[in-house]
Chain A
Amino acid sequence: MERQFNAEIESLKLGEGETFHGEGILAVTKALLQSGVSYVGGYQGAPVSHLLDVMVQARDYMDELGVHVEACTNEASAAAMLGASINYPARGAVTWKSIVGTNVASDALTHVASAGVIGGALIVVGEDYGEGASVAQERTHAVALKSSMWMLDPRPNLATIVNLVERGFELSEASNTPVFMDLRIRACHVHGSFRAGANRAPALSTRKLLADPAVFDYEHLPHPPATYRQEKLKMGVRLPAARKYIREHRLNELFAGSENSVGIICQGGLYNNLLRALNLVGLADDFGASRIPILALNVVYPLVPEEINEFCAGKTAVLVVEEGQPEFIEQDIATTLRRADIQTKLHGKDMLVMAGEYSSEVIVHGLLRFCAAHAPHLDTSDGTRWHESADAARARAAELLGTPLPPRPPNFCVGCPERPVFAAIKLVEREIGKRHISADIGCHSFATFAPFSLGNSILGYGMSLASGAGVAPMLAGRSMAIMGDGGFWHNGFLSGVASNQLNGGDKVLLIMKNGYTSATGTQDLVSSPGGSEELAQDRSPVRAERTIENTLRGAGVKWLRNVYSYRVADMTKTLREAFTTDEPGLKVIIAEGECQLERQRRIRPVLARLLGSGARVTRTRFGVDDATCSGDHSCIRLSGCPSLTLKASSDPLKVDPVAHVNHSCVGCGLCGEVAHAAILCPSFYRAEVVQNPNAWDRYLARLRSTVIGWLQPA
């Protein structure tokens, strides 16, 4: 795993009254233990990876408490874990990145929600929305609505988040309904503190086993007529129970203000941004005292009509601050007010933008419009001034800079084994023309950025091969799907390979076998290479691992090639063959090369130890001769390695910068391989620095320098 959580594991063990310092998502982890969960599962992905990663690393402590932790192979298997709470009074939590993970999980979620739970079930979703998001922009809220699952959106401070986790389990049990806890990216990564409680060993656990399974109960199964009764229960029993619990336990928070003719209703998660916006406009201080009353909804579904009506009654107008679209909460409030015949004017998306993240700046715009319309007596000139100075700063910067700055999207790491594969694809396309490429989720999707710009579509994690099923029959040239080993196990094998085998599809599938789910923090897969010390320094340890190959063979794949990623010429040849062979059926190329992040993490301490003990260690670095580099940068267009960069030419005659390998080079050899495979130029060299040379090394070096010295010009 990319990150070690030793210190964080210790903070999970804090007792009653001690202060927890740390990240939001780890506070949730701690809160789960305080709530006495029996089981935890999930699938990694920013921004919630750490929840599960820390628990996986804290396996010993979890065993001590009796908590079962499962690193699931996808969100569907995680969601299905919640089935335990249908039949047993056991609390459980699962986590993933949303909206994408929720989509994958939704089949199981539908059934858990319909059957209902007797043990508290919490689904912690990282809402990947707005700046920093890496998925399609949709709301998880919609899933909560259609499945009648409740949704928490706590104010983004650790104490509130932790409290809501604990209350969430109670709400779930009080209403027999699974509950979503929706956390935005920044809330997951917020660093703060809270007063910890003691961890509770679960009542049912790996240490307290049940003698008998649950009795058979047809009412929990998704068959008619039970399903009809379950739907009625949702609206007739569970919803009122939830509202009662929410109201009685004051999960939503009312912040009074002096300007009672107006009010703001916001999602709890937006409370801090709203407060900063009010502060910028001059209507709130830094401690949360706002002149306009605020109803912060820590539970965004279901709303409690009485709370809404009480807040709105007697006010001229209310502004709903609700991020994302469509405006579910605003619509819900409108219905509530209309039914109660409350004539308060309702604003929201008419004054705030429909789509996109609600930053303080966006909210300030809305507040200025709202105040101008309904509270013109309030002095909001601070907001106007601030807004103008922000615009002025941007305008002045644009003027001074002249041209917009080039973007800096993420890229393959230095020495990444996936980069050479895309270099090979580029080279093959020069020969046989462009091909339709179905891309996938994972680090390899960085190939959609320059310099490769490869990939016609991305349809979800592990969906590349499946998404080519309709395309391939229409194209003259054979098409290709690319997926990682992460995608293969997440969904790719079943949705892609099995379906292709059933239908006799004629496609090329390229699997990046780097050993881990690298994009999410190098978590383990069923096919991750085992051991660590004995894994050779030079060879890729993923080579010995054959689970993917055996699985493919078992599914009837005949044409299967394993190619070491860094051999660009071999990969080019294999790709050419895959695209042009007469052999029918699926052509699978497995590009082997261990994730360089994981490899470096593994070998660095080994090498340091060897060096320290005086052992002979060869360090490999690549370089470019700037005297022979002509500054055309063809090599960079075929590589894009961060360590292959530019520098001003030391040759005063040359005007263009030359290629240059900087000190971050890990010696993977791609630049040399590309220069060879593409017949680029003779400027690349490999330098092997012999550290701690032995007597023979020293003798040879002396001999060589003497002989060469006789003949060498300056």
Chain B
Amino acid sequence: METELTQRPITILIAALGGEGGGVLADWIIAAATAEDYPVQSTSIPGVAQRTGATTYYIELFPVRAAELQGRRPVMTLAPAPADIDVMLASELLEAGRALQNGYVTPERTTLIASTHRIYTVEEKIALGDGRYDSERILAAAKALAKRAILTDFHKLAANTGAMINAALFGALAGSGILPLPRAACEEAIRSAGKGAEASLRGFSLGYAAAEGKAAPAAGLSTDVDAPADTDIPEAFLAERMRKDFPTEVQEMLAQGVARVTAFQDRAYAVLYLDRLEPIAKLDQARPGAEKSKLTRETARFLALWMSYEDVIRVADLKSRRSRFERVRTEVQAKPGEPVNIVEYLKPGVEEAAALLPPALSRRLVAWAEKRGLMHKLNVGLYVKTSSVTGFLMLRLLAALRPLRRMSARYVEEQALIERWLAAIAAAPDPELALEIALCGRLIKGYGDTNRRAKANFLRIFDTLVDGTTVTGPMERAKAVRAAREGALADPEGRGLEATLATHGIAPLPPQPKIIQFMRRPGAKRKAA
């Protein structure tokens, strides 16, 4: 029989992260192909990338049995070439994106089998705000560029069966029907590899069904969002006022906000919340921005977050709630009947104490601590066992300080800053500028040093761009505020912020004073020969 020379090797590229079993997947394919007498070859570049980095495995399979090749052996190459890949497997969405970026996925040839879950890169994770790459863009590109795209959350699929993701991907590869390998041969390859075969076979089976389109492989994004926290229904008179004074588009946000500030302090505090928002809503209606009620909605969001700033009282309250205990149990996958001890890592110090004291006392404490350089020296590292009766009572006791909060220095300080922010929003001559100022509320977050840095950035933007007169013209100012806000979220050292301010000719802040360490420098004493 003359072999048709039109046959080409089937090329398979696997993009995986170190430790995900990409090598095992390649081995399974090799084993199944070898058992079926197809010439097959795989290569990889694991090296140091096996430590959680991105890596690839490349396989070529010649779809004519060796016995039918009359002694001839195909020459298979060791490295993938762009526009020359039949199956692109990616164990994670960003790595699928990387394959697209490198030209490995083409509409003429490539079936893309990719998991839609994300494992974020360090670069994405260290952003001060939201540094995550837009998954929708990768999905859209995948669908546009692949001949056929099998996209589903293979990670979840596998996890549900106790298998690793490689088993589900192997299943999808087998189910896609591109390889001349029967299902039984693939399953046998898993079985003969031994270890964990049963779980892997379950994962394989689900992957297989997903590729056949049987298991609803929704090409959508896997969501990593928990069900939203229960929102208490606001009391009737508050609900009534919300309906009366605010447009429908912001009701949902308002409900969240009112619930948050009520839980933080009390009913009167919620009234204050609505009082503060009302003029903004009026302004927004009288002078609508590009998106209807966006100013009101975003102000409502950041105002609620700011007004429910995280002090000791709030943290103690949140950590000792029943819902929180249950969440932890789920989070750590504790089985029913398994006791779970929860230990908090708390390290309160002068700052936290000062925040709770009345302003006058607080000032004296801070002055004393600063004079002696003790501001950060007196923090006590506590390991509080919230799940024990004493630990729990300690937190509840702190939470019970809530009625006294209005007298605390931190409360007074936060309210003053909030008023300054709201006044600036209301006073902005243009809706765009008002919105940009409102969105600066996003900068306010964190604890301790982080919170201090965030506020310093916020105030810097206010002093220079909002209240300052360096940039004139509302549109230019709106643009400048947005750039400054993004700059502030670019790095923790404030370089990004200062760089954007410098474009408007604003002189950078003087560098922080540096501590100089004095030490004796021993002369280059040579050992006597």
For the complex of A and B, list the 6 residue pairs with the smallest distance between their C-beta atoms, beginning with the closest. Answer: A132-B45, A410-B53, A584-B522, A400-B141, A630-B445, A701-B339
A707 at the interface (CB under 8 A from B): yes
A623 at the interface (CB under 8 A from B): yes
B81–A280 contact, CB under 8 A? yes
On whether A503 and B515 interact (CB within 8 A), knowing A411-B122, A689-B332, A708-B389, the answer reads no
Complex: A393 Cα to B325 Cα, angstroms:
51
Q: In chain A between 622 and 657, which residues have their CB closer than 8 angstroms to a CB of chain B? A: 623, 625-628, 630-634, 636-637, 640, 642, 644-657
Determine, out of B96-104, B197-205, B477-485, the stretch whose residues face the partner at the interface: B96-104
Name A452's closest neighbour in chain B (CB-CB).
B122
B240 at the interface (CB under 8 A from A): no
Determine, out of A243-251, A335-343, A535-543, A678-686, the stretch whose residues face the partner at the interface: A678-686
B229–A650 contact, CB under 8 A? yes
B288 at the interface (CB under 8 A from A): no
B524–A633 contact, CB under 8 A? no
A275 at the interface (CB under 8 A from B): yes
B125–A636 contact, CB under 8 A? yes
B318–A646 contact, CB under 8 A? no
A-side contacts of B103, CB under 8 Å: 390-391, 393-394, 397
- Chain A residues packing against B (C-beta within 8 Å): 21, 46-47, 128, 131-134, 156, 184-187, 189-193, 271-273, 275-276, 280, 285-288, 357, 359-361, 386, 389-391, 393-394, 396-398, 400-413, 431-433, 443, 446, 449-451, 473, 477-478, 501-504, 506, 519, 569, 579-582, 584-585, 619, 621, 623, 625-628, 630-634, 636-637, 640, 642, 644-657, 660-661, 663, 672, 675-676, 678-682, 684-691, 693, 697-698, 700-701, 703-704, 707-709, 711-714
- Cβ 8 A contact of A579, one of B335, B514, B517: B517
B260 at the interface (CB under 8 A from A): yes
B-side contacts of A361, CB under 8 Å: 81-82
On whether A623 and B332 interact (CB within 8 A), knowing A405-B98, A634-B492, the answer reads yes
B121 at the interface (CB under 8 A from A): yes
B196 at the interface (CB under 8 A from A): no
B-side contacts of A709, CB under 8 Å: 322
B144–A691 contact, CB under 8 A? no
B132 at the interface (CB under 8 A from A): yes
B137–A400 contact, CB under 8 A? yes
B505 at the interface (CB under 8 A from A): no
Task: Provide 5 A-B residue pairs closer than 8 Å at the C-beta atoms, listed in order of the A residue.
Answer: A405-B94, A407-B121, A477-B517, A652-B256, A697-B339
Name A445's closest neighbour in chain B (CB-CB).
B48
B-side contacts of A631, CB under 8 Å: 129-130, 445
B286 at the interface (CB under 8 A from A): no
B389–A704 contact, CB under 8 A? yes
B372 at the interface (CB under 8 A from A): no
B319–A628 contact, CB under 8 A? yes
B-side contacts of A412, CB under 8 Å: 51-52
Name A412's closest neighbour in chain B (CB-CB).
B51
Interface string of B313-354 (1 = CB under 8 A from A): 011011111111100100111110111111111110100000
- Cβ 8 A contact of B78, one of A187, A393, A655, A704: A187
Interface string of B71-115 (1 = CB under 8 A from A): 011111111011110000000001101101111111010000000
Interface size on B, residues (CB 8 A): 150
What's the minimum C-beta distance from B412 to chain A, rounded to whole angstroms? Answer: 21
A46–B319 contact, CB under 8 A? no
What's the minimum C-beta distance from B94 to chain A, rounded to whole angstroms? Answer: 6
Determine, out of B171-179, B219-227, B496-504, the stretch whose residues face the partner at the interface: B219-227
B281 at the interface (CB under 8 A from A): no
B-side contacts of A689, CB under 8 Å: 332-334, 338-340
Interface string of B36-59 (1 = CB under 8 A from A): 000011111111111111110010
Complex: A281 Cα to B228 Cα, angstroms:
57
A-side contacts of B102, CB under 8 Å: 394
B-side contacts of A285, CB under 8 Å: 5
B-side contacts of A410, CB under 8 Å: 18, 48-53
B449–A389 contact, CB under 8 A? no
A450–B324 contact, CB under 8 A? no
Complex: A650 Cα to B223 Cα, angstroms:
11
Interface string of B222-243 (1 = CB under 8 A from A): 0111111100000000000000
A191–B347 contact, CB under 8 A? no
On whether A360 and B130 interact (CB within 8 A), knowing A446-B51, A646-B120, A682-B315, the answer reads no
A186–B492 contact, CB under 8 A? no
B389–A389 contact, CB under 8 A? no
Complex: A714 Cα to B229 Cα, angstroms:
12
B138 at the interface (CB under 8 A from A): yes
B519 at the interface (CB under 8 A from A): yes
